């Protein structure tokens, strides 16, 4: 199974950056097989290091869990977003990964930002250790890992590891979900952290923080207003409800800043939307 999965990851990685539509159609066959096997075979392996994430990167994953299994079989957790980023990112850009988790986005972006930088925010210690290991495995020197959560003010909160097969659900707002364990972590504003890090611009922000999206955005409002980055936000009715707000408030936040919400096609192209989904990534584009 390991050999089959490795071959499928290598074939699927070729989709990123492929402009020939005939080749794209051909490669989608392998992606379809990957998705089928991902759904059919559940691995009992714990942490392993795959050596061909995004073609040539090393990535420590847990294939017994949801995100790790998707990466193990297909090479991606969110393919359309990677197709977009491959076209959007330029070598000198500065990207911010809020809720970096094990580093799927951080590594993908850092590989392309050879004259730029990635700022990765991950407050949970156990996850941050894996993130740091993945950065080290690839010898990346253009990534800064910051071990704080982001909010609209400085304070402390308990972050919970949710009892779920999906490993990307760490949250400050449990709602009806059960906690496996928790720890108290510091929260800062992105605006204050950017000032401390002496960053002179921001080109892209990815934010996936299980309900903390709106507070984190409010704490980044000055940076967003100043540098007008593209901002990719996970919209999630359930986590927003647990945190005490609605997705429409996120929409209003960006409307006030003169941003347009967009979704992605299967080719990773932007399409303007007029209503927000109950769940999914939305890319806000400055007007």
Contacts of 284 (CB under 8 A, 6+ apart): 230, 231, 232, 233, 254, 259, 260, 261, 262
Mean pLDDT over residues 13-37, rounded?
92
Mean pLDDT over residues 217-241, rounded?
97
With a cut of 80, say whether residue 56 has pLDDT above it: yes
Strand 179-188 with 155-162, pairing = antiparallel
> Quick one: what percent of the chain has pLDDT higher than 90?
87
Tell how far CA 114 is from the center of its chain.
19
CATH superfamily, domain 78-286, is Vaccinia Virus protein VP39 (3.40.50.150)
Give the whole-angstrom CA distance, residue 177 versus residue 119: 30
With a cut of 90, say whether residue 29 has pLDDT above it: yes
Helix-helix angle 66-74:2-13, to 10 degrees: 70
- What the block records as the tokens of 228 is 């007008």
pLDDT of residue 43: 86
CB contact at 8 A, 96 and 73? no
Could you tell me what percentage of the chain is helix, strand and coil, using 3-state DSSP and rounding each to the nearest 5? 40, 25, 35
> 192-199 long-range contacts, Cβ below 8 Å, gap at least 24?
192/154, 192/219, 193/119, 193/121, 193/146, 193/148, 193/150, 194/223, 197/119, 197/144, 197/146, 199/94, 199/117, 199/119
Q: Which residues share a beta bridge with 171?
A: 160
- Nearest Cα to Cα of residue 86 among 120, 54, 52: 54
Give the three-class secondary structure for 135: helix
Question: What's the pLDDT band for 37 if we cut at 50, 70, 90?
Answer: very high
Contacts of 65 (CB under 8 A, 6+ apart): 165, 166, 167
Contacts of 210 (CB under 8 A, 6+ apart): 99, 168, 169, 170, 171, 172, 173, 236, 239
Q: Which residues share a beta bridge with 49?
A: 60
pLDDT of residue 250: 98
With a cut of 80, say whether residue 223 has pLDDT above it: yes
Write down the number of H helices and E strands in the chain.
11, 13
pLDDT tens digits, 71-128: 999 999 999 999 999 999 999 999 999 999 999 999 999 999 999 999 999 999 999 9
Question: Which has more pLDDT, 268 or 198?
Answer: 268
Give the whole-angstrom CA distance, residue 128 versus residue 133: 8
Indicate where the chain has its CATH 3.40.50.150 domain(s). Answer: 78-286
pTM for this model (two decimals): 0.96
CB contact at 8 A, 99 and 121? yes
pLDDT of residue 167: 74
With a cut of 90, say whether residue 42 has pLDDT above it: no
Instruction: List helix spans (H) across 41-76.
Output: 66-74
Q: Phi/psi at 86 (nearest 5 deg)? A: -60, -35
CB contact at 8 A, 145 and 128? yes
Give the whole-angstrom CA distance, residue 171 versus residue 184: 11
Average pLDDT, the chain: 95
With a cut of 80, say whether residue 53 has pLDDT above it: yes
Q: Which residue has the tokens 């390991």?
A: 2
Based on its alpha-carbon atoms, the radius of gyration of the chain, rounded to whole angstroms, reads 18
Q: Which residue has the tokens 């108290």?
A: 184
pLDDT tens digits, 158-214: 999 887 777 777 899 988 888 888 899 999 999 999 999 989 999 999 999 999 999
CB contact at 8 A, 119 and 197? yes
Mean pLDDT over residues 39-63, rounded?
94
């Amino acid at each position: 199974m390991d050999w089959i999965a490795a071959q499928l990851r290598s074939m699927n990685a070729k989709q990123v950056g492929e402009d020939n539509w005939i080749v794209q159609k051909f490669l989608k066959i392998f992606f379809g097989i990957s998705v089928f096997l991902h759904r059919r075979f559940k691995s009992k392996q714990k942490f392993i290091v795959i050596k061909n994430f995004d073609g040539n990167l090393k990535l420590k994953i847990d294939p017994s869990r949801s995100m790790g299994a998707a990466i193990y079989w297909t090479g991606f957790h969110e393919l359309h977003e990677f197709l977009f980023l491959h076209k959007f990112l330029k070598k000198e850009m500065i990207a911010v990964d809020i809720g970096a988790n094990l580093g799927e986005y951080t590594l993908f972006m850092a590989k392309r930002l050879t004259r730029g930088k990635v700022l990765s925010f991950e407050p949970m210690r156990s996850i941050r250790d894996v993130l740091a290991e993945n950065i080290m495995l690839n010898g990346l020197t253009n990534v800064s890992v910051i071990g704080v959560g982001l909010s609209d003010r400085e304070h402390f909160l308990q972050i919970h590891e949710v009892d779920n097969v999906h490993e990307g659900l760490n949250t400050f707002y449990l709602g009806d979900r059960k906690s496996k364990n928790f720890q108290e972590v510091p929260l800062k504003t992105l605006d204050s952290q950017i000032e401390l890090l002496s960053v002179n611009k921001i080109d892209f922000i990815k934010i996936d923080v299980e309900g903390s999206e709106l507070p984190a955005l409010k704490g980044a409002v000055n940076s967003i207003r100043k540098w007008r980055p593209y901002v990719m936000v996970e919209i999630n009715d359930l986590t927003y409800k647990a945190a005490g707000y609605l997705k429409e408030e996120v929409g209003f936040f960006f409307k006030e800043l003169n941003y347009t919400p967009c979704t992605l096609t299967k080719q990773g192209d932007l399409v303007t939307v007029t209503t927000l989904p109950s769940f999914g990534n939305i890319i806000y584009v400055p007007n």
